[in-house]
Amino acid sequence: MNTERILMPKPLGSAVSCPLGADDCPIRAESQRLQDECARLRELSHTDPLTGLFNRRYMKMALEREMERSRRTGLPTSLIMIDLDYFKRINDTYGHEAGDDALKWTSGVWRKNLRRIDILCRYGGEEFAIILPGTRLHAAKRAAKRLQTALAASPVELQGRLVPLTASFGVDTYTTLEELTARNFLKRADRYLFEAKINGRNQICCQKPEAAKLTPEVTVDERSLLLGSAALPATEMNRKKQASKKG
């Protein structure tokens, strides 16, 4: 029989021993309880209590993480910002509890129409944010259209009445061909959301094709200035030498 024992300190400095491998060890049980409690608190710090979605704090961390993944892999990261249209009317007409029900209902609609890898967050109030890892702009636009269609087909029941819901969408995509912070990426997507709002709501606005093009190459003169003449192509270096002789 194994008589080796584990000694664990008590808060007051004395020690409690448990037989190695004992299933009923109170120290092991307490350790597991503390681990479970830490996991629960960590989840609460990342979760919106009303909808069960990730919260704003987690969204910002996840966006940083996915943009860093893009920089490592070269795959794009897309972001959809969503705002429910005329949500104040629901609160004013049916009350804030009904407004909460509408938010929970909408969250369920979003969940059913996203991939498992997509990161769905409640950004605040009636605004949502969705991070789509490894997703190009055209696919992100399709995802937004799918969400828009699903919401239009899913009126929420409030106080015995079916109330239609619509939303406005701002879509943007980050690629490694541009230098962009998570904060500015978020601001840019939010600008497209604002554009959808001022254009009449229930719309999808996104990065324009010209903005999605590759960033322009560094010019020869810029390259020379940054890296010196050794970095110039041979043909361009000869052209500059000839020009200097003529001058």
Q: What is the per-residue pLDDT across 107-157, written as a single tens digit (0 to 9) for each?
A: 999 999 999 999 999 999 999 999 999 999 999 999 999 999 999 999 999
Name the nearest CA neighbour of 56 among 41, 45, 66, 42: 45
CA distance 96 to 112: 25
- Could you confirm whether 126 is annotated as catalytic? yes
Q: What is the pLDDT of residue 65?
A: 96
Active-site entry in 30, 66, 126, 222: 126
Q: Name the H helices within the chain.
A: 26-46, 56-73, 87-94, 96-112, 137-152, 182-198, 220-227, 234-246
Look up the pTM and report it. Answer: 0.70
**Using one digit for the tens of pLDDT, what is the confidence trace for 191-202?**
999 999 999 999
- Domain architecture of the chain: domains with CATH: 56-206 (3.30.70.270), 217-247 (no CATH)
Q: How confident is the model at residue 8 (pLDDT cuts 50, 70, 90)?
A: very low
